């Protein structure tokens, strides 16, 4: 039996924060605001994973009111979500994700993001796709006010 899940996230871009996407530090003069490291791509993948297994969402599992998750490394949260999904009896077939950011240019970082995510999910890099899009300078992403991400995940029952 196969199950799919969808994830979406958006964080505001602010000065004085590091920019971390898919666990990779990206050079930029602004970073994403949030309680954890605000890794919008990893958060979208976590929600897609949890959604596919009907295990709730990232806010229920890792509440931002919990001091344990302040400035948390989102890859650690991803590992935990993947563990729960395996425990529920599923194997991960593949992940596909979009990151929507007007700036900076993300192309040079995409393979590193795929490798980081795949390692945390305990799958091959070839099973993880990350694509970058600008927003044609319109909307919050296009004006550089935010970065958003979308992800889909396919699970197979073991
Ligand atoms: Zn988030």
The dihedral sign for the CA sequence 108, 114, 115, 120: positive
**pLDDT of 81 strictly over 80:** yes
What is the per-residue pLDDT for 45? 98
How far, in Å, is the centroid of ligand 1 from the Cα of 9? Answer: 5
Residues in the 5 Å CB sphere of ion ligand 1: 9, 43
Tell me how long the chain is: 158
pTM comes to 0.96
Average pLDDT, the chain: 96
How far, in Å, is the centroid of ligand 1 from the Cα of 10? Answer: 6
How far, in Å, is the centroid of ligand 1 from the Cα of 109? Answer: 19
Residues whose CB is less than 8 angstroms from the CB of residue 87 and which lie 6 or more positions away in sequence, other chains included: none
What is the per-residue pLDDT for 66? 84
What is the per-residue pLDDT for 18? 95
Helix axes 110-121, 74-87, angle to 10 degrees: 40
Burial of residue 140 (number of CB atoms within 10 Å: 0-12, 13-18, 19+): middle
pLDDT tens digit string along 90-135? 999 999 999 999 999 999 999 999 999 999 999 999 999 999 999 9
19, containing H or E segment: strand 19-21
Taking the C-alpha atoms of residue 41 and residue 96, their distance in angstroms, rounded to an integer, is 11
68-106 CB burial, b ≥16 within 10 A, e <16: ebeebebbbbbbebbebbbeeebebeebbbbbbbbebeb
Taking the C-alpha atoms of residue 84 and residue 21, their distance in angstroms, rounded to an integer, is 22
Taking the C-alpha atoms of residue 33 and residue 54, their distance in angstroms, rounded to an integer, is 28
* 81 contacts 72 by C-beta, under 8 angstroms: no
At residue 36 the predicted structure's pLDDT band, cuts being 50, 70 and 90, is: confident
How far, in Å, is the centroid of ligand 1 from the Cα of 21? Answer: 11
Taking the C-alpha atoms of residue 5 and residue 7, their distance in angstroms, rounded to an integer, is 7
């Amino acid at each position: 039996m196969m199950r799919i899940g969808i994830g979406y996230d958006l964080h505001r871009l602010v000065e004085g924060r590091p920019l971390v996407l898919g666990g990779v530090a990206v050079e930029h003069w602004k970073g994403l605001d949030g309680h954890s490291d605000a890794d919008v791509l990893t958060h979208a993948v976590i929600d897609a994973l949890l959604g596919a297994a009907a295990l709730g969402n990232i806010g229920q599992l890792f509440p931002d009111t919990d001091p344990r998750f302040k400035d948390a490394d989102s890859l650690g949260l991803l590992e935990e979500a993947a563990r729960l999904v395996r425990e529920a009896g599923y194997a991960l077939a593949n992940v596909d994700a979009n990151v929507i950011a007007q700036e900076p240019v993300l192309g040079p970082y995409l393979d590193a993001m795929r490798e980081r995510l795949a390692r945390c999910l305990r799958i091959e890099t070839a099973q993880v796709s990350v694509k970058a899009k600008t927003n044609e300078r319109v909307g919050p992403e296009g004006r550089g006010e935010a970065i958003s991400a979308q992800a889909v995940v396919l699970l197979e029952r073991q």
